[in-house]
Chains A and B, each alone.
Chain A
Amino acid sequence: MLELAAVQGVSVEDQGIDNSPLAIRGLTVSYGQKPAVFSVDMTVHPGAMTAIIGPNGAGKSTLLKAALGIVPPLSGQVTVYGQPLGQQRAHIAYVPQRASVDWDFPTRVIDVVLMGLSRELGLLGRIRARHMARALDCLHRVGMRDFADRQIGQLSGGQQQRVFLARALAQGADLYLLDEPFAGVDAATEKAIIAVLKSLKEAGKTVVVVHHDLVTVTDYFDHVFLINTRKVAEGPVAEAFTAETLQAAYGGRLATAQIDQISRALG
């Protein structure tokens, strides 16, 4: 398997970009006549945690959704571990924004996590003890084991987010794509999520996160991808996450004080 090469420490340069967990070439997505993402190239580094960063409306979420085929692109190619997206779905886990679903839907926490097993269950397969055990284990990993039987409407925002993460874990994927998992969650949840993401990285998985909090970028991530409709910068945090690239991505929208603060954090 191609992803094994990444686990065994073969660098991305040796494999060439074509074997990257997620490679995007010339991707343009447009709502109406205004492109949200314009001719973007992205090569995700295997086994790394990458943050997609940019101002509001810069196309961060759109980039992710187009990479997954949720919104149709105007042009561009997406490959996952060197193959077209369609054949590689089983290797990808997606955590959508929490606000994208109705939390009054009649379902329990455990049922949501079991959705992550839909491929194995198929259309008519029975939910067996081993499926249940795996779903519960995923809930345990995000600290939500005790919530398994609760109605999802009773959860706090942070708990909802962790249930979504548990559903992604249940898929047993190699590439994890998360859309703003830290938006509007409590500190405990943020800690729990980052711990899970780091454990995924240690297990050789690749994690890509749409992220909005510039202050935590250096703590959480080792690669960044800066976007403002067009790609601004891409690479290891030390190289691509600088005062200059931030200025280029955010333009006047980032106060000088913020840039100073981040620059200090960068050292």
Chain B
Amino acid sequence: MLWDALTFQLGYNATLVAIGATLLGISAGVTGTFLFLRKRALVSDAISHATLPGVCLAFMALVALGGDGRNLIGLLAGSAVSAWIGLLCMNWLTRHTRLAEDAAIGAVLSVFFGLGIVLLTVIQTMGVGRQAGLEGFLLGSTAGMLWADALIIAIGGAATLMLVMIIRRPMMMVAFDPEFAAARGLPVHRIDLAMMGLVMAVTVVGLKIVGLILIVALLIIPPVTARFWSERSDRVVLLAGLAGGLAGYLGAAMSASAPNLPTGPIIVLVSFGFFALSLLLAPVRGVLAAILRHLRFQRRVHIRQGLLALAQGQKIYEPLTLRLLRRAGIVRADGVATEAGKARAAKALRDEKRWELVRSDQAHEATAALYDGLRDIETVLTRDQIAEIDRRIGGPQGVLT
């Protein structure tokens, strides 16, 4: 069943939803990365909640004009207008009052959402209201998705993605160093507004599939996931698009494979799955890697300290150090150094002296920055460089093994 869904064999609607969700995931992940790196991720939550009054008012207007009020373009246009008003309110609050951004987000989010719920209740008492299905915009509803709906999502997502790519450099500069960007003459405030406008576009496009409450997850979780895997902003952007797109595709397929599984929430859970895996398994920033690195570092510190103690004829009391030295064949079971151990101890002491010289010499600065008290010096310097250092240290030569 899941396989059928993954290969688009579950019928017309499921295929439309899967394609739409994939595109939405990609554009949300890419756009969200800039917001995340600008440290304004929660702004997206206020934007998304501010769409609700617009959806309701647009519905009322459409009904008043004699339609049935379910024209998706009309509803999305309404949501965009009210989200933009919410965004401007938030911006005004942070720029012209002493309110911090988090307070402004809280105020705008709750007031707009409250207003939206009131309007929603009013609509439900209207004659045509009951069939409107506007609640679907809260958590997304893909059951009756039409070809035209999918097309709107595809076009909106692609257009957003293209705009993001065009202004990615100024957005990244503002995210990293807004003062420098301003000094170069970049309109920082307008670039921020453009960034949030793009986030708004993704939100509006995503209302049908994941709904306004959960869209924030698609904007934030993929960038956070991607950040675990790369230290380069351009790659974080691409990886976030990949994670978002994959979550959209897998989530849509999974929800189609069984009856009554909600699409939006499943997409968010799949996205969270990627996040959890990255949190645990990412090579440098992941939790497991950090634990392993710590343990390995601790072991190396103990062995190094043990070697230096041996070289200087000091007694070792620390049980962990002794155990590690024994296991490495540096000391025998009775605590006496082996021949190999003695050689390594002498080498360790000599390396200390070499490092001392390297660290005091400006010419070796890049090497000195690697100093951690543990590294074998031949892993960072060439044989000739070490020989040169040894000449400067003087004393017995040839302990380099």
Q: Residues of A with Cβ closer than 8 Å to B?
A: 65, 68-70, 86, 89, 92, 94, 96, 100-102, 105-108, 111-112, 115, 118-119, 121, 123-124, 143, 146-147, 151, 153-156, 159, 167, 177, 188
Q: Contact check, B183 vs A96: say whether CB atoms are below 8 A apart.
A: yes
- Given A123-B170, A146-B366, 11 other A-B contacts at CB below 8 A? A89-B184, A100-B177, A100-B179, A105-B37, A106-B235, A107-B233, A111-B233, A115-B173, A124-B166, A155-B369, A188-B362
Q: Contact check, B366 vs A105: say whether CB atoms are below 8 A apart.
A: no
Q: Distance (Å) between the CB of A161 and the closest chain B CB?
A: 13
Q: Contact check, A123 vs B166: say whether CB atoms are below 8 A apart.
A: yes
Q: Which of A69, A92, A106, A188 contacts B233 (CB 8 A)?
A: A106
Q: Contact check, A101 vs B231: say whether CB atoms are below 8 A apart.
A: no
Complex A-B: 16 CB contacts under 8 Å? A69-B185, A70-B179, A70-B182, A86-B185, A92-B183, A94-B183, A105-B233, A106-B235, A111-B232, A118-B169, A118-B173, A123-B166, A143-B362, A143-B365, A147-B366, A159-B369
Q: Contact check, B182 vs A115: say whether CB atoms are below 8 A apart.
A: no
Residue of A nearest to B177 (CB): A101
CA distance A100 to B179 in the complex (A): 8
A-B pairs with the 8 shortest C-beta distances? A146-B366, A94-B183, A89-B185, A70-B182, A151-B231, A96-B179, A68-B183, A101-B177
Contacts of B293 on A, CB cut-off 8 Å? Answer: none
Contacts of B182 on A, CB cut-off 8 Å? Answer: 68-70
Residue of A nearest to B235 (CB): A106
Which of B173, B185, B233: most chain A Cβ within 10 A?
B185
Q: Distance (Å) between the CB of A120 and the closest chain B CB?
A: 12
Interface residues on B, range: 20 to 34
Q: Contact check, B180 vs A94: say whether CB atoms are below 8 A apart.
A: yes
Contacts of B232 on A, CB cut-off 8 Å? Answer: 106-108, 111
- Asked whether A102 and B233 contact (CB < 8 A) given A96-B183, A115-B173, A118-B169, the answer is no
Contacts of A69 on B, CB cut-off 8 Å? Answer: 182-183, 185
CA distance A151 to B287 in the complex (A): 19
Chain B at the A interface: SS class: helix
Contacts of A92 on B, CB cut-off 8 Å? Answer: 183
Query: CB of B167 within 8 A of chain A?
Result: yes
CA distance A35 to B344 in the complex (A): 65
CA distance A48 to B182 in the complex (A): 25
Q: Contact check, B176 vs A101: say whether CB atoms are below 8 A apart.
A: yes
Q: Contact check, B167 vs A123: say whether CB atoms are below 8 A apart.
A: yes
CA distance A188 to B175 in the complex (A): 30
Q: Contact check, B231 vs A123: say whether CB atoms are below 8 A apart.
A: no
CA distance A65 to B178 in the complex (A): 12
Contacts of A112 on B, CB cut-off 8 Å? Answer: 176
Contacts of A167 on B, CB cut-off 8 Å? Answer: 180
Residue of B nearest to A147 (CB): B366
Contacts of A123 on B, CB cut-off 8 Å? Answer: 166-167, 169-170
Interface residues of B in 166-207 (CB under 8 A from A): 166-167, 169-170, 173, 175-177, 179-180, 182-185
Q: Contact check, A115 vs B176: say whether CB atoms are below 8 A apart.
A: yes
CA distance A206 to B140 in the complex (A): 59
Q: Which of B179, B180, B184, B236 contacts A119 (CB 8 A)?
A: B184
CA distance A100 to B236 in the complex (A): 22
Interface residues of B in 329-378 (CB under 8 A from A): 362, 365-366, 369
Query: CB of B305 within 8 A of chain A?
Result: no
Q: Distance (Å) between the CB of A34 and the closest chain B CB?
A: 14
CA distance A96 to B173 in the complex (A): 14
Contacts of A70 on B, CB cut-off 8 Å? Answer: 179, 182-183
Contacts of A100 on B, CB cut-off 8 Å? Answer: 177, 179
Which of B37, B39, B166, B184: most chain A Cβ within 10 A?
B184
Residue of B nearest to A155 (CB): B369
Which of B167, B227, B236, B366: most chain A Cβ within 10 A?
B366
Residue of B nearest to A32 (CB): B98
Residue of B nearest to A107 (CB): B233
Q: Distance (Å) between the CB of B186 and the closest chain A CB?
A: 8
CA distance A124 to B164 in the complex (A): 11
Contacts of A147 on B, CB cut-off 8 Å? Answer: 366, 369
Q: Contact check, A106 vs B366: say whether CB atoms are below 8 A apart.
A: no
CA distance A115 to B176 in the complex (A): 10
CA distance A96 to B184 in the complex (A): 12
Q: Contact check, B231 vs A108: say whether CB atoms are below 8 A apart.
A: yes
Contacts of B227 on A, CB cut-off 8 Å? Answer: 106
Q: Contact check, B37 vs A188: say whether CB atoms are below 8 A apart.
A: no
Query: CB of B230 within 8 A of chain A?
Result: yes
Q: Distance (Å) between the CB of B196 and the closest chain A CB?
A: 19
CA distance A89 to B235 in the complex (A): 30
CA distance A177 to B176 in the complex (A): 19
Q: Distance (Å) between the CB of A19 and the closest chain B CB?
A: 21
Q: Contact check, B184 vs A118: say whether CB atoms are below 8 A apart.
A: yes
Which of B179, B182, B183, B365: most chain A Cβ within 10 A?
B183
CA distance A96 to B188 in the complex (A): 16
Contacts of A153 on B, CB cut-off 8 Å? Answer: 231
Contacts of B231 on A, CB cut-off 8 Å? Answer: 106-108, 151, 153
Contacts of B175 on A, CB cut-off 8 Å? Answer: 105
Q: Distance (Å) between the CB of A62 and the closest chain B CB?
A: 12
Residue of A nearest to B98 (CB): A32
Taken residue by residue from 146 to 174, chain B's Cβ proximity to chain A (1 for < 8 Å, 0 otherwise) reads as: 00000000000000000000110110010
Contacts of A101 on B, CB cut-off 8 Å? Answer: 176-177
Q: Distance (Å) between the CB of B102 and the closest chain A CB?
A: 17
Interface residues of B in 27-54 (CB under 8 A from A): 37, 39
Residue of B nearest to A156 (CB): B369
- Asked whether A102 and B185 contact (CB < 8 A) given A115-B177, A121-B169, the answer is no
Taken residue by residue from 85 to 127, chain B's Cβ proximity to chain A (1 for < 8 Å, 0 otherwise) reads as: 0000000000000000000000000000000000000000000
Which of B180, B184, B362: most chain A Cβ within 10 A?
B180
